A and B are shown apart, each in its own frame.
Chain A
Amino acid sequence: MTAVHEQDRLTAAELAAVRADFPLLARTLPGGRPLVYLDSGATSQKPDCVLDAEQDFYTQRNAAVHRGAHHLASEATEAFEAARGHVASFVGVDPGEIVWTSNATAGLNLLAYAFGNATAGRGGAGARRFALAEGDEILVTEAEHHANLVPWQELAARTGAVLRWVEVGDDGRLRTEQLDELVGARTRVVAFTHASNVTGAVTDVAAFVAAARRVGALTVLDACQSVAHLPVDLRALDVDFAVFSGHKMLAPTGVGALYGRRELLADLPPVTTGGSMVQVVTMTESTYMEPPQRFEAGTQMVSQAVAMGAAAQYLSELGMSAVAAHGRAITELLLEAATAVPGVRVIGPLDARDRIPNVSFVVDGVHAHDVGQVLDAAGVAVRVGHHCAQPLHRRFGVAATTRASAAVYTNEQDVAAFREALGTVRTFFGVEEVA
C-alpha cells in the first residue's frame, strides 16, 4: 500500500544529527539514568526548529490574526497562513482545505457535529448530503481509537443512524474483505484509521475508499498515527475528510488539522460559532464565512499552528520516504526485541510490512502496569493501558497492553535498552517458568 524504499533509510550520521535536534533526548532521569523514550505514539518530542518557531512568533510577531490593520497583525496573519500552507502541502492538499483544530479528536467531533447540524436542517441546500436519516449507517472499525468511535456513536444516537464496524483479524489487520458485505445502500459515512495506535497496522485505504465510493458514502480518515511515519498524500488517497494532531508529528500540543475536500467543506455547516467566522450578524441571524474560517471561531492557537507548520517543514526536509524507511527498520527491531523475550505476545502484525513502529504486547502472567513499571525503572518510557482503544483490546481478550512506539529520532540503542529491560520483567515477578 505504501511503498517504503530501503535505500532512503537515514544513515547513522543522519540519525545522530536528527537526535541532536531534539533537546529533550539529552536529559537524564533521576539517578543519572539515560532516558529511552518509546512513547512517541502518545506524543512525540519536539525539535529545536519547532520550539524556535513558537518562541519566534511570541518574541517577534505576536498579534491578533485576520483582524488588526497594523503591520504586526499582518506579519502574524502571514505566519499563520504560511503555516497552513506548510501543513497542507505536507499532506498534498490546498491550504483552503485545511482547518485548524485543537487536535484530531476536535476535528472528528467537528465533523460529527457538523453532520448532526446538517441533519437538523442547518446549512444550505448543499448540506443535505451530510444529513443522516433513521436507519442510515455509519461504518467504523474495531481498531479505532475512541476519538474515531465515540463521536460517531453520539451522532448515531442523535440521528437514529446505525453504527456498524469492520472487524480486526487475529493478525491485527482489518478484515477488509468484510467491506463488501458491510457497505450498502444505507451507508453514509465510512470513518477509519489510517494506522492503528495499538497494532501499528496500516489500513488498505484504497479498499475502504472504493467501497464507500460505490455507494456514495463519505470517507473520514484518522491520520493521527500515520502522518508522523509515512508519506501521506490525502489527494492520492482520495478520502473526503481527514484529521491529524500536531503533537504526534513533532509539533506542540493544542493544534491539529482537519482536511476536507474543497467542495465538501464549502457545504459543511459550522459547529463552533462566534467571532471571526461570520460575515453579517444581526440580532436574529448571521451569515458565515467561507472555509476554512467558517470553522475557526474565536481566537486561534496561532503560535502552535506556526510551530506545526515548522514541524511539517522539518519532516518534509528530512523526506517522509526516509522517515518511513527508518520507521520500517525500527519496527523490525522492536518486533524482534519483543518476540525474543519468552512469554511475550505481540498484539498486531508480526511483519514490518504496512506497519508503523507501534508495537503493543502482553507479557504472560504480568499485568501491563507492572511491565511498564519495570521498564520505567530501567529508564524506558512506554505506554501501558488500553491506549484509548478498549474494543480492540477486548477483541484480543485483554484489558491492557504495553506499547513501545518510536519516532524518527528512535535509534537501535533505544530498542536494545527496551529489549534488555523487557527480559527482566518475568524474572522480577517470579513468573519466568513458561507453563
Chain B
Amino acid sequence: MTVSTTSSAMAQLYQELILDHARTPEGRTLAEAALPADGVAWAESHQVNPTCGDEITLRIELEPGTDRVAQVRWDGQGCSISQASASVLTGLVEGASVTDAERLGEDFRALMQSRGSEVDAALAERLGDATVFTGVAQFPARIKCALLGWAALRDALAHATAVAKEETP
C-alpha cells in the first residue's frame, strides 16, 4: 500500500465507521432474541452470498397496529463490509415505516450502483450513516457483500407486510 491511489481507495472502502460497526455490530443478537409475541407480524429472511458462502439471517418485527418496523435482529458471518452494512441498516430501519425502510433499501442499492461518484445530497441525507459505503461502489466484487443484509431486509419486509395484512380483519 505504498501507492497513494490504492491506499486512498482502501481508506474510502474501509472507513473507520465501517470498521467500528464490523467490530461491534448493532442488532447481531438474533440467536439470543426471544420469538416475537403472538399477534406481532414478523418475518425472517436467510440470504447467502454464493461467491463466498457468507450468510445472514435477518428478522424484522412490525409494531402492532402500525406500519413501523419495531425491531431488526440478525445473525450472520461474513466480511467487515457485510457485517457493518447489516449493523448500519439496523440503526436506520428500526423505528422507520415499512415504506421508508423499502425506500432506504432502494437508495442503498442506488448508492452501490454509483461507482463511487458523488451522490446527490437528498440521497445522502436519507441514507445518513449508510453513505460511508460509497467507497464500496468502486470495488464491484464487494457490492454483493454490502447488499447482503439489505437483500434480507427487502425479503423480510415483503413477508412481514403480507403477514400483517392477513392478520388485519
Please indicate whether A and B come from the same complex rather than being unrelated chains.
yes
Query: Contact at B10–A393, with CB atoms within 8 Å?
Result: no
CB-CB under 8 A for A386 and B52, given A32-B3, A377-B10: yes
B80 adjacent to A400 (CB under 8 Å)? no
Pick the interface stretch among A156-164, A347-355, A366-374: A366-374
Residues 1-22 of B, flagged 1 when their CB comes within 8 A of A and 0 if not, give: 1011111011001100001000
State whether A370 touches B53 (Cβ < 8 A). no
Question: Which single member of A369, A424, A428, A430 contacts B79 (CB below 8 Å)?
Answer: A369
Contact residues of A between 354 and 369, Cβ < 8 Å to B: 366-369
Give 19 new A-B contacts, CB below 8 A, not counting A369-B79, A377-B10, A429-B80: A31-B3, A33-B3, A33-B6, A367-B79, A368-B52, A369-B54, A373-B13, A373-B14, A373-B142, A377-B1, A378-B1, A378-B6, A385-B52, A385-B53, A386-B53, A390-B53, A400-B53, A428-B14, A429-B19
The interface bits of chain B over 27-60 (1 if a CB of A lies within 8 angstroms of the residue's CB, else 0) are 0000000000000000000000001111100000
A30 x B5 contact (CB < 8 A): yes
Closest to B6 in A: A377
A402 CA / B113 CA spacing, docked (Å):
27
Decide if A399 touches B19 in the complex (CB within 8 Å).
no
Cα of A370 to Cα of B6 in the assembled complex, Å:
15
Range for the number of chain B residues in contact with chain A: 20 to 34
Mask, A383-427, CB within 8 Å of B = 1, is 011100010010000011000000000000000000000001000
Bound CA–CA A230/B63 (angstroms): 63
- Minimum C-beta distance from B133 to chain A (A): 14
How many pairs, one residue from A and one from B, have CB atoms within 8 Å of each other in the complex?
65
A384 to B139, CA, bound (A): 15
The reply to whether A31 and B52 contact each other, CB–CB distance below 8 Å, is: no
Most buried by B among A367, A378, A428: A367
Residue of A nearest to B139 (CB): A373
C-alpha spacing A393/B3, complex, angstroms: 34
Expressed in whole angstroms, the Cα–Cα distance for A341 and B79 within the complex equals 20
Interface residues on A, range: 20 to 34
Contacts of A367 in B (CB 8 A): 54, 78-80
The answer on a CB contact under 8 Å between B19 and A430 is yes
Nearest B residue (CB) for A431:
B23
> Cβ of B55: which chain A residues have Cβ within 8 Å of it?
399
Determine if A399 and B77 form an interchain contact, defined as CB atoms under 8 angstroms apart: yes
Residues of chain A within 8 A of B19, CB atoms compared: 429-430
Residue B160, interface by CB 8 Å:
no
Interface centre among A399, A424, A428 (most CB of B within 10 A): A399
Give 15 CB contacts A-B under 8 Å: A30-B5, A31-B4, A31-B6, A32-B3, A369-B52, A369-B54, A369-B81, A377-B10, A378-B6, A384-B52, A390-B53, A399-B53, A399-B55, A399-B78, A400-B53
Cβ of B145 under 8 Å from chain A: yes
CB distance from B48 to the nearest CB of A (A): 10
Which residues of chain B are within 8 angstroms of A370 by Cβ–Cβ distance?
14, 79-81
Distance between Cα atoms of A429 and B9 in the complex (Å):
15
A390 to B49, CA, bound (A): 12
- Tell me which residues from 128 to 169 in chain B have a Cβ below 8 Å from any Cβ of chain A: 139, 142, 145
Which residues of B have CB within 8 Å of A30? Answer: 5-6
| Distance A430 CA – B24 CA, assembled complex (angstroms) | 13
Q: Which residues of A contact B52 (CB under 8 A)?
A: 368-369, 384-386, 399-400
A8-52 interface bits toward B, Cβ cutoff 8 Å, 1 = contact, 0 = none: 000000000000000000000011110000000000000000000
The reply to whether B53 and A393 form a contact with Cβ atoms under 8 Å apart is yes
Contact yes or no, A31 B5, CB < 8 A: yes
Bound-complex Cα distance A378 to B51 (A)? 22
Task: Find chain B residues with CB under 8 A from A32 CB.
Answer: 3
Least CB distance, B15 to chain A, in whole angstroms = 13
Q: Which residue of B lies closest to A369 (CB)?
A: B79
Q: How far is the CA of A430 from the CA of B80 in the complex (A)?
A: 12
Q: Across the interface, which residues of A come within 8 angstroms of B9, CB to CB?
A: 377
Q: Is the CB of A424 within 8 A of B6?
A: no
Nearest opposing residue in chain B for A394, CB measure: B53
Complex: chain B residue closest to A367, CB-CB: B79
B81 contact set on A, CB distance < 8 A? 369-370
Chain A proximity mask over B59-71: 1 for CB below 8 Å, otherwise 0: 0000000000000
| Residues of chain B from 94 to 147 with CB closer than 8 A to chain A in the complex | 139, 142, 145
- Chain B residue contacts of A33, Cβ below 8 A: 3, 6
- Alpha-carbon gap, A366 to B80, bound state (A): 8
A197 to B24, CA, bound (A): 34
A30 to B54, CA, bound (A): 29
Give, as a whole number of angstroms, the nearest-CB distance from B1 to chain A. 5
CB-CB under 8 A from A374, the residues of chain B are: 1, 10
Q: Tell whether, in the assembled complex, residue B10 and residue A373 are in contact, meaning their CB atoms are under 8 Å apart.
A: yes
Determine if A368 and B79 form an interchain contact, defined as CB atoms under 8 angstroms apart.
yes
Q: Distance (Å) between the CB of B117 and the closest chain A CB?
A: 17
Given known pairs A33-B6, A377-B10, the reply for A369 and B53 (CB within 8 Å) is: no
Q: How far apart are B55's CB and chain A's nearest CB, in angstroms?
A: 7
Give CA–CA (A400, B77) in the complex, Å. Answer: 10
User: How far apart are the CA atoms of A369 and B55 in the complex, in Å?
Assistant: 13
Distance in angstroms between the alpha carbons of A366 and B78 in the assembled complex: 10
One digit per residue, 1 when the CB lies within 8 angstroms of any chain B CB and 0 when it does not, for chain A 257-300 equals 00000000000000000000000000000000000000000000
Q: How far is the CA of A50 from the CA of B2 in the complex (A)?
A: 35
Chain A neighbourhood of B7, CB < 8 A: 377
